[in-house]
């Protein structure tokens, strides 16, 4: 018989081994899934995990990894702060969209003007847009004690509707012959978020993600705010005893994660996407939740997890074009990663004992 027994202190080994084991299990079970679909599992796994890094097209694909990892990391570090405090912002996708719309709107307002200040202003507007969208569930929670999970999630669908309105209405390109979508920022140098080194895939967003991860890591390790966030998540009553105001913390964490998601949105809409379209959002806000947990809610871990998740995106696309794998199968594969992670995570706090663990009763 297998039994779980609580460890006196969380295992440091399993804290770090968990993501690795989860990735391996995902590869094994995912491979079985692919085999059941009639594909060669080894070819699929190699296409997803190896080819983007070292395959024939890796020169281009490595850049794509950075393009995809950037927003994931930027959103995930914000979410991790909240998750550590027990504040569950599930609506980063909506905050990402609102950031993109706000930033793009500012850029389109100044369209035809040139100036070094236009892009920074757009970035600021994007962060504010995401922050404001995050404030809605935060204030509803602190004033009316609503559940931030539900409210933030529902606001994603509101944001998607606003996005559709923007693309077909108030931000539509007037010279676009009636097609949905805004003007393209690629043709507007003052607002374009181009690669910092041409062809590298690294734009301002990628840089912001790396700097953001370092700042968040420093806050969690050395700053009172980081201590209060961790304390509130682990022992809410002890946090109040310490002197944390729970409402302030909710507003702060939702604001930071919303603002960072908004930043990711504005960097995306001015860079790789280059315009507002109906299906501008591709689920970064949701995938970032997986990235945050895969990275142990630790900024450095999140950077690694962001790249791993980007790999499954880029590699998954390769697998679907080259091997005819359905896109849904790749999404199942990503979802599996989160499930295995959460399952294996039990080992951090519990150890498995074989047998009943006690001497049998004699006499």
Choice between 192 and 230, CB closer to another protein? 230
Q: 310-324 burial, b if ≥16 CB within 10 A, otherwise e? A: bbbbbbbbbbbeeee
> Which residue in this structure is represented by tokens 């890796």?
58
Q: Does 359 bind another protein (CB under 8 A)?
A: yes
Least Å distance, CB 326 to another protein, is 42
Least Å distance, CB 352 to another protein, is 13
- Residues 84/228, Cβ–Cβ less than 8 Å: no
Tell me the two tokens of residue 352: 């498995």
Q: Which of residues 283-322 bind another protein (CB under 8 A)?
A: none
Least Å distance, CB 320 to another protein, is 43
Q: Does 362 bind another protein (CB under 8 A)?
A: yes
Choice between 110 and 227, CB closer to another protein? 227
Least Å distance, CB 363 to another protein, is 5
Q: Does 237 bind another protein (CB under 8 A)?
A: yes
Q: Tell me the sheet residues that pair with 353.
A: 3
Q: Does 230 bind another protein (CB under 8 A)?
A: yes
Measured at the CA of 277, the angle between CA 196 and CA 195, to 5 degrees, comes to 5
Q: Which of residues 243-272 bind another protein (CB under 8 A)?
A: 243, 245
DSSP letter for 186, please. G
Q: Does 227 bind another protein (CB under 8 A)?
A: yes
Least Å distance, CB 358 to another protein, is 6
- Residues 323/305, Cβ–Cβ less than 8 Å: no
In Å, how far are 47, 49, 176, 306 from 75, measured between CA atoms? 27, 23, 32, 10
Choice between 297 and 308, CB closer to another protein? 297
Q: Does 241 bind another protein (CB under 8 A)?
A: yes
Other residues' Cβ atoms within 10 Å of the Cβ of residue 2: 7
Q: Does 357 bind another protein (CB under 8 A)?
A: yes
Contacts of 117 (CB under 8 A, 6+ apart): none
Q: Does 355 bind another protein (CB under 8 A)?
A: no
DSSP letter for 185, please. G
Per-residue binding letters, 2-31, with another protein (x by CB under 8 A): ---x--xxx---------------------
Choice between 228 and 257, CB closer to another protein? 228
Q: Is 243 exposed, middle or buried (0-12, 13-18, 19+ CB in 10 A)?
A: exposed
Least Å distance, CB 303 to another protein, is 22
Distance (Å, whole) CA 151 – CA 138: 9
DSSP-derived 3-state class of residue 354: strand
Least Å distance, CB 234 to another protein, is 5
Least Å distance, CB 255 to another protein, is 17
Interface residues with another protein (CB under 8 A) are 5, 8-10, 222-225, 227, 230-231, 234-235, 237-243, 245, 357-363
């Amino acid at each position: 018989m297998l039994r779980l027994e609580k460890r006196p202190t969380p295992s440091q080994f399993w804290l770090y081994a968990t993501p690795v084991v989860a990735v391996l299990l995902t590869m094994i079970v995912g491979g079985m899934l692919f085999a059941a679909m009639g594909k060669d599992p080894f070819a699929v796994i190699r296409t997803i995990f190896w080819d983007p890094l070292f395959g024939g097209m890796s020169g281009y694909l490595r850049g794509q990894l950075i393009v995809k990892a950037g927003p994931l990391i930027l959103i995930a570090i914000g979410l991790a702060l909240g998750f550590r405090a027990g504040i569950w912002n599930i609506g980063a996708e909506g905050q990402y969209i609102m950031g993109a719309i706000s930033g793009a709107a500012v850029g389109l307002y100044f369209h035809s003007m040139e100036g070094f200040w236009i892009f920074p202003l757009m970035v600021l507007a994007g962060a504010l847009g995401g922050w404001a969208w995050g404030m809605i569930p935060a204030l509803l929670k602190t004033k009316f004690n609503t559940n931030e999970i539900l409210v933030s999630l529902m606001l994603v669908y509101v944001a998607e509707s606003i996005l559709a309105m923007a693309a077909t209405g108030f931000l539509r390109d007037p010279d676009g012959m009636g097609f949905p979508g805004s003007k393209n920022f690629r043709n507007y140098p003052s607002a374009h978020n181009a690669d910092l080194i041409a062809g590298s895939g690294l734009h301002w967003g990628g840089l912001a993600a790396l700097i953001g991860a370092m700042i968040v890591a420093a806050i969690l390790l050395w700053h009172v705010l980081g201590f209060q966030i961790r304390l509130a998540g682990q022992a809410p009553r002890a946090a109040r005893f310490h002197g944390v105001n729970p409402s302030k913390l909710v507003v702060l964490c939702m604001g930071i994660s919303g603002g960072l998601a908004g930043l990711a949105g504005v960097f995306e809409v001015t860079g790789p996407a280059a315009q507002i379209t109906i299906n501008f959002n591709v689920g970064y806000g949701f995938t970032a939740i997986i990235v945050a947990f895969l990275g142990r809610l630790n900024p450095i871990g999140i950077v690694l997890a962001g790249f791993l998740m980007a790999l499954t995106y880029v590699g998954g696309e390769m697998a679907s074009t080259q091997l005819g794998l359905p896109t849904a199968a790749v999404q199942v594969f990503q979802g599996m990663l989160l499930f295995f992670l959460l399952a294996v995570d039990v080992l951090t706090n519990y150890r498995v004992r074989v047998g009943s663990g006690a001497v049998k009763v004699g006499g």
